[in-house]
């Protein structure tokens, strides 16, 4: 194998790959369903069952999954609107402020539905 063959193989292997067009929508719907399922699991839990530590696994996992999926959902939605915020901002400080405001508003929207 010569150096040019190796370089050609590397170029081919490292060529950019475009994600499917509907990937963001599928990811968002998966994250929404995960947060809803975690919320349902926590809602169905009875406090009287918490006396036994063996019963703590399911609600703990539901809380971790719900928080993780909710956070990922906020990040995904805030990132999707980044270009618009960047165009409206006149300096980097204002961009950071707008990004934090957008993230806080999106988090409120997600938790308000739950």
What is the tens place of the pLDDT at every residue in 6-58? Answer: 888 888 888 888 888 898 899 999 999 999 999 888 888 877 777 778 878 88
User: What is the residue extent of each domain of the chain?
Assistant: 21-113
Q: What are the Cα distances from residue 5, in Å, to 17, 29, 99?
A: 21, 43, 46
CA–CA dist 76, 107 (Å, integer): 11
pTM, two decimal places: 0.70
The answer to whether 58 and 40 have CB atoms below 8 angstroms apart is no
SS3 at position 22: coil
Task: Give pLDDT, residue 1.
Answer: 63
Q: Cite the DSSP H helix spans in the chain.
A: 3-13, 23-43, 57-80, 82-88, 92-113
């Amino acid at each position: 194998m010569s150096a040019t063959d190796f370089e050609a193989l590397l170029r081919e292997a490292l060529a950019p790959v475009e994600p499917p067009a509907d990937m963001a929508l599928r990811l968002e719907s998966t994250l929404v369903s995960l947060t809803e399922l975690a919320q349902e699991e926590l809602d169905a839990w009875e406090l009287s069952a918490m006396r036994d530590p063996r019963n703590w696994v399911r609600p703990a996992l539901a809380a971790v999954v719900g928080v993780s999926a909710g956070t990922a959902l906020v990040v995904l939605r805030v990132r999707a609107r980044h270009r618009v915020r960047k165009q409206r901002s006149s300096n980097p400080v204002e961009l950071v402020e707008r990004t934090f405001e957008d993230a806080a508003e999106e988090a409120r929207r997600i938790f308000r539905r739950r």
